[in-house]
Structure 1
Amino acid sequence: MLKSSTTLRSFSLLSLGLVLLAGCSKEDIRVAEPQNSLSSAATANSETVVRRSQHYIILSSTDQLPADLASQTQAANGTLTEQLPGAGLALATSSDPDFAAKAGRITGVRSVIHDFSYQGYNPEAARGVEAVQDADNTNPASTGDNDRFFPLQWGHTAIQAPEAWNTGARGQGALVAVLDGGFDLTHPDLKANIVGAESFVTGEKAQFVGSGFSHGTHTAGTIAAVDNNIGVVGVAPDAKLLLVKVLRDGGSGSFSWMIQGIYYAVSKQADVINMSLGAAIPRNSKFRDDNGTPNDTSDDTWVNETKEIQELLVAISKATTYATKNGVTVIASAGNDANNGQRDQDLMHIPSGATSVISISATGPLGWALNPSTTLDRVASYTNYGTSDVTFAAPGGDSEYPGNEIVTVAGVRQYAFAFDMVFSCTSLGRYSWSAGTSMAGPHAAGVAALIVGKNGGQMDPTQVRATMRASADDLGKPGRDPFYGYGRVNAYRAVTQPAN
């Protein structure tokens, strides 16, 4: 039976890929359309990155916090809410507008800055076309895997994941922390691999609420969906998942939640952190201040906080460096602003631009459903790039195919452009297509989990990075280039070829 529904093409302002809702027997698509105007991206992010006037991040001059910080913070008219020893970070609240200046005079404190909130993705849409329902969701007998939708996972083909599995490398013994929005904790393709879930989002539990697209569920599925003959399969299907909610179900969050999530993942001895999230923030711009009323924008003011934004990157870098020093390989999406970081260095991306972070750009085919032999390594139209901004590339998908042909692949009948995106899990036990560097990061995180699993767990991040570099397919210009970094990750070579 064919039935129409509304399909929307819109892209997140930041680094989160957003798209399609799909059930086992029908698909309602939301297709991402890249944001090609850098100036509009910068303007939009200046508006959506908001200073939290009563929430602060305290940065120590070292990795350790000053002694008796709680009482000294109180003396500065603030309340210490969280101490993160080893990372040299702490969180505080205060209604005193002079708190940052007062607390900044505490011996051993490098700086005191406001926390900032940001909008990760916009669940609403801008451009509509018709979607077509699934006619016959059957899995062809010739498929190389028994999971129902495995033939739609072209990304696994691109990075040679099945070949890696055939060597026995499936991620067993690796723990991947997924820092994202809410998760479907009961999804049949995820629940057997979930070993823990935690939320740092005020008023929201880790469980995704609602029937819409679940970004966190999608990324987790690409990394480690169970090989259970049901739906999709992850790059590292035997790895375990630690699901950490640092964004609201609606896509917004604060950087302090990100910091807490990183610290928590370290405390749970995660081997890999995947952050398919972030904000592209102008270094020199004005930002809104919420004046202590985050749910009421009527009295917001505009402030110029260039120094605070620069220190915000330092704060995130202290957290990511702490994670790396404690044996965690940190991976983040490069962002969807189509920004050349070498040319326009004013727009910095957090957290992919932080210290020790492996930054992932996106690749994807154009018209794959019509021509399965087409290249899977085309640079995605939206991906951020720049030689110093990209470490590796991975499949993120794209929706640039211009036609509206309806085709059938592995029994799934849908628009051809949908099949160029990444297929994974979403809310209510369902599945969806999505495109973005958010979808590329999990492919790379899955490869990292395969490497760690092969090593028996607890592998030094520098060794993981070296193995990924030695095994990546060097596409584009020889050596590190602006689009592929050191190359597109390759799962098979990563578990069969030693690092140089």
Structure 2
Amino acid sequence: MATMATRRLAAALTLLLVAACYTTAARQLKQDAPSSAAYVLGFGGSPARGAFVSAIARAGCALEDFTAEAGIATSVCPIGHLHKVSSCPSPGFPELGVNLVTKDVVFTTPGDDNGKPKPHDSDSSDDRAAAAAGASTDSSVVAGSTPPPKFFTGPITDTSALNDPFWRRQWAPKAIGAPAAWAKGINGRCVRVGLVDFVFGPPHNDLKNKYDFSVSKGFGNVDWTYNSPDPAGTYTAGIVGAEANNSDSVVGVAYGSTLIGASVSDEISGLNTMRLSKIAQGIIYAAKRKDEGGAGVDLIHANFPTDNIIDRTNEAQMTESGAFSNAVAVLNKAISFANRNGVLVVVPVGHVPYPTSGIDLTYQKANFTALCENANVLCVGAYGATGICKGTCVGNNYFCNVPKDIAGANYSQLHPQSNYGRSVDVAGPAGNPLNYPAPCWGTNAIFSTGRYNIRIVTGVPFTAAPHAAALAALYIQKAAMDKGILESELCNPARTRTIVSPGQIKTAIKRGAVMPPGNAGEMRKYFGSGLINVPNTLGL
């Protein structure tokens, strides 16, 4: 009898506590009428959408997005309300397995001013003339259409015969040994590369045949082709998969791959911003199979203006109570979903604005949380190149006037803005801004596609990771060939399975990396297993 009475008393107290929580919340809604905000919830198990909608509604909120497979949902509530309600024994919340509630943090593209080397068009007259000789000027793209199936995917046995006018300026594909794979017909043919980035802009002529427009999309308040003045997605897309041998601009490392753009940008007062929930949705959508409503990619390159690190001291990234948000925990759930779907996620280690030096993330864990701490990602650091030009420079003293010395260059230098630490897996080539704007700076820069069909040269560290993502695409094609998978299956637009596991790709890239000369401990801290190397990774 005593036990029964105790249980009844406990139940009554629980009901009183629930009533108190909801009365307080209702009073807040009625009296204070605060503005609404979005919140991201993480949960385990497989709750039904209807049950989630009901529980969220009882909490005074509205469900905005729900992905049961990834365990992530987004709701809109009065500011601070969901945190109060989720701390109560809310009917339905425990049964739904909700274990994470955080503000839908808004990230803003960091400003990199003070004269840093920014992406811009080549000012070399001979390059302009070469580009004008064969480049198409038709920039029309039919939204939602399927991209033309015909672009060059054949082998390149003689790179001197390439007619892409800026190929001769591209040192990075040569430094990682990409031509060795191209000569054997390994160029990422039919591998689907998802690019989760903040915005892409109107497709560049060198890319518009490469996108799968039927599944590329935007998740923010602007379309993925929104005409941003700083379309980082276009920079990374060109490095990964710009069309080859089409008399236009540059050659992508995986020029045979198919690209899928997933923009996660909002445009607010002229600034490119991102909501945490939209970044997670972009990753989930890209990794979801096509027969389930996703883009069906084989790998993802994820680049965010947050530089893939969360600053614990940034008040804008905190919850209303002043606590550090669980933004990285949310993104890790999205990455885990991609991993379970057989999709490798490649991320930059991040960087700091010029001229600040990069952060040692190993010893800054109290202040920063990085996506690179997730074992399911391939974390890519950045190295610069020095000593490529052994002669004079032309084009306003900008470009090397003699053939580049790729074999004799020094690649042991960490990009000065790049972060580093034990979480770095490998490093890729990036521009070296140390001597900007001194003579020959353009020789050490990375060339890619830019806004309005221009060719850009840039010295920013995030250009390293797209080279590693392209290497992953080459590896996937090579693995398919080794397994005897027919091209008809690999290239089937309706393909619903990936070819090789994310862990296998990551292991191969790390094993194939080459450690540059220098202090071994320092090189490991900067570059992880070493600098990415195409022939070693593919076993050529």
TM bucket normalised to smaller:
0.7 to 0.9
Residue of 322, 325, 328 corresponding to 1:313: 328
Query: 2:287 touches 2:343 (CA, 8 Å); kept in 1?
Result: yes
Query: 1:59 touches 1:88 (CA, 8 Å); kept in 2?
Result: yes
Q: Which has the higher helix share?
A: 2
Report deviation, 1:357.
Answer: 1.3
Residue of 413, 418, 431 corresponding to 1:383: 418
Change (3 A) 1:66 1:190: closer
1:162-181 equivalences in 2 (<5 Å): 162-181=179-198
State the AA in 2 paired with 1:463: Q
Change (3 A) 1:365 1:289: closer
Query: 2:376 touches 2:503 (CA, 8 Å); kept in 1?
Result: no
1:398-409 equivalences in 2 (<5 Å): 398-401=432-435, 404-405=438-439
Query: 2:240 touches 2:254 (CA, 8 Å); kept in 1?
Result: yes
Change (3 A) 1:176 1:403: closer
Corresponding residue of 1:260: 281
State the AA in 1 paired with 2:530: G
Corresponding residue of 1:31: none
Instruction: Give the TM-score normalised by the residue count of structure 1.
Output: 0.77
Report deviation, 1:346.
Answer: 2.0
Corresponding residue of 1:118: 107
Corresponding residue of 2:538: 495
SS at match of 1:264: helix
Corresponding residue of 2:226: 208
1:25-424 equivalences in 2 (<5 Å): 54-62=37-45, 68-95=51-78, 97-103=80-86, 105=90, 106-107=93-94, 108-122=97-111, 125-127=113-115, 133-137=123-127, 143=160, 145-196=162-213, 197-202=216-221, 204-209=222-227, 212-227=229-244, 228-248=246-266, 250-267=271-288, 268-277=295-304, 278-279=306-307, 280-283=309-312, 285=313, 287-288=315-316, 304-306=322-324, 309=325, 311-337=326-352, 338-366=358-386, 368-370=388-390, 372-373=404-405, 374-387=409-422, 389-401=423-435, 404-405=438-439, 416-424=440-448
Structure 1: distance between partners of 2:296 and 2:159: 40
Report deviation, 1:331.
Answer: 0.4
1:1-42 per-residue CA deviation (whole Å, 9 max, x = no partner) reads xxxxxxxxxxxxxxxxxxxxxxxxxxxxxxxxxxxxxxxxxx
Report deviation, 1:286.
Answer: 5.5
Structure 1, 109-118 or 350-359: larger mean CA deviation: 350-359
Query: 1:78 touches 1:93 (CA, 8 Å); kept in 2?
Result: yes
1:68-92 per-residue CA deviation (whole Å, 9 max, x = no partner) reads 0111001001111111111111011
Change (3 A) 1:86 1:146: same
Q: Which has the higher strand share?
A: 1
Report the structure number with the largest CA radius of gyration: 2
Query: How many pairs are equivalent?
Result: 418
Structure 2: distance between partners of 1:464 and 1:65: 34
Instruction: Give the TM-score normalised by the residue count of structure 2.
Output: 0.72
Structure 1: distance between partners of 2:478 and 2:227: 36
Report deviation, 1:379.
Answer: 1.5
Change (3 A) 1:192 1:97: same
Residue of 432, 451, 467 corresponding to 2:508: 467
Matched, 1:450 2:504: no
Change (3 A) 1:395 1:305: same
The sequence identity of aligned pairs, in percent, is: 23
SS at match of 2:316: strand
Change (3 A) 1:312 1:213: closer
Change (3 A) 1:369 1:264: same
Structure 2: distance between partners of 1:289 and 1:59: 18
The higher-RCO structure (CA 8 Å, 6+ apart) is: 1
1:181-214 per-residue CA deviation (whole Å, 9 max, x = no partner) reads 2224431110111013200111x1111315x342
Query: 1:61 touches 1:88 (CA, 8 Å); kept in 2?
Result: yes
SS at match of 1:342: helix
